[in-house]
Amino acid sequence: MANKMKLYGFNNLTKTLSFNIFDICYTRDNEEQNAYKAYIDEQFNAERVTNILKNVTEIIGAYVLNIAKQDYDPEGASVTIMISEEKVPKKFLDPSCNAGVIPTTDVVAHLNKSHVTVHTYPESHPRKGVSSFRADIDVSTCGTISPLKSLKYLIESFDSDIISIDYRVRGFTRDLNGKKFYIDHKIASIQDFIPKEIKDNYEMIDVNVYQENIFHTKMVLKNFVLDEYLFDITEKDLALKEKNKIIKEIKKEMYEIFYSKNY
């Protein structure tokens, strides 16, 4: 506590952690594609994603002010949680906020600089044998609480074959003498905040712009286990020629997403 920098007023730094998380699955036909999308839609519906984000809020040491959530037809979900650094007594809470208790009536989204959001996107194409699920997650805070604390939990909460992570710090805060500070913590890479047991499972690359406090890390799973990418069938059900074809298509899809390039 004695080593903390003394600030003038409120810490105005905005710290934003953005995720793209991809899950890949081989689907042989429209029937399997539809079954996979229905499975994903059930596994990551608005209610389950809301619980994940509420846990994120607790992990980073914030408090829920308001939650808005929505499932979509034919598939997908969105959740937004407005958070605060300090707990707000109910008598001071804006009447439009629900403090995390979701009413049965419609809820209007209420955003602030401190918020947690997720949007999910199941994806497939009738001419392609590979389907995917993408979750876009943003954890944005202002003040001293850090979204980086949620990295481990978020990676483990989704079936993450490919992960793209951005972290950036914006604004400035001042010390008692009026000197501006554009970041209030040390960071060389997002990887510094990911546990070793997770990093060991992924190939990782960084693109960082240190002078702008912008950090980017991409991750793709190292070990390939075919059964983990099949839906309603197992590797034992496949002839060798078909198995090799499926492996080639899945790996092609994974590396196209990882490098943002068609091969």
Q: Which residues are catalytic?
A: 114, 119, 142
C-beta of residue 139 within 8 angstroms of C-beta of residue 100 = no
Name the nearest CA neighbour of 164 among 141, 137, 130: 137
Give me the residue label for tokens 């020629």. 241
For residue 220, give the amino acid letter: V
Nearest-angstrom CA–CA distance, 34 and 25: 12
Segment (H or E) for 26: strand 14-26
Task: Classify residue 28 by burial, with Cβ atoms within 10 Å: 0-12, 13-18, 19+.
Answer: middle
